[in-house]
Amino acid sequence: MQIFHHVESVRAALKTERAAGKTIGFVPTMGNLHDAHIELVRIAQQHCDIAVVSIFVNPLQFGLNEDWDKYPRTFEADTAKLRAVDCNYLFYPDEKEIYPNGMAEQTRVIVPTMTDVLCGASRPGHFEGVTTVVSKLFNIIQPDVAVFGKKDFQQLAIIRRMVEDLCIPVEIIGGEIYRETDGLAMSSRNSFITQEERPKVNVLNRALNDAKSAIQAGDRDFFALEDTAKQTIVKAGFKVDYFNICNSKTLEPAANDDTNITILGAMYTAGARLIDNLTFTLSSEKK
């Protein structure tokens, strides 16, 4: 695996690969890699000749009082995991390389839809930071395919919209959520969960599945289902950020006759903010 810190050098290396007729698959990350990230790399390898991973803890997507400074940096362990799966390139820039004129002067990329709800409501400016850095990384790497995890479903939907709106020539693939044995979605922030909390944090996933089962059984009182899920999470000892039943494409509140449904939830432990979601399709007979 080749490691690059600078835009110019990684571009030159990938230009040579393209000249040889090879396709480029890209997985942008913030590091602290776990099995779910590695699965995204494998998906990129399945679709392309060359797999590129970036590690950059993007300060532009962290708000005030968020955990940018505490976000785990595990470069040595990350590189070992990437080498073990034969990743071809790692792009590991510093902040000045990505924001050479400083973040205050950085041109921003803003997707005006889907960004002020769900995670965007509790993290103002977060998705502006995401779309800005992802668009920069796309311009640097110029991939044929980019792979993002479905755990960050809202992020995936926003990036797909950005690519469509800006006519960026990259195919976006969503990787399935990778879970622990009890259903907890794998996340870099799971390391902040305390031992006392760990047996209970799968309540978020259980609440999602309970709501899904109720909807599939014909229950269309979405607001009541959301309230029940929130109460379940609170009774387990956690603070609810949101729990919403949405149209999968628009992320607007689901209508009674919607058939493509995504249920999204977020909750706070003592030291972590956890997110999860479930997507499913209803048959037209159950409208």
Residues serving a catalytic function are 37
DSSP-based helix, strand, coil % in the chain, nearest 5: 40, 20, 40
Q: CA-to-CA distance for 266 and 262, rounded, in angstroms?
A: 13
Can you point out the beta strands (E) in the chain? 2-4, 24-29, 50-55, 89-91, 145-149, 171-175, 239-247, 260-268, 273-281
- DSSP-derived 3-state class of residue 114: coil
Burial 43-59 (b: 16+ CB within 10 A, else e): bbbeebebbbbbbbbbb
Q: CA-to-CA distance for 148 and 172, rounded, in angstroms?
A: 7
For 118, the token pair is 């769900």
CA 173 to chain centre: 12
Q: Do 195 and 167 meet the contact criterion of CB atoms below 8 Å apart? A: no
Q: CA-to-CA distance for 93 and 25, rounded, in angstroms?
A: 18
Q: CA-to-CA distance for 17 and 251, rounded, in angstroms?
A: 38
